[in-house]
Amino acid sequence: MSETKLVDARDTFCPGPLMELITHMKQASVGDTIELLSTDEGSGADVPEWVNKVGHEMLSNEKIEGVWHIKVRKAK
| Interacting residues toward other proteins by CB under 8 A | 8-9, 11-16, 18-20, 22-23, 26-27, 42, 46, 49-50, 53-54
Amino acid at 62: E
19 or 30, CB closer to other proteins? 19
Least distance in angstroms from the C-beta of 17 to other proteins: 8
Which of the residues 14, 26, 53, 76 is marked catalytic?
14
List the one residue out of 5, 53, 49, 3 whose CA is nearest residue 30.
Answer: 3
Helix, strand, coil shares of the chain, percent, nearest 5, are 30, 35, 35
Active site residue 14: yes
Question: So which residues are the catalytic ones?
Answer: 14
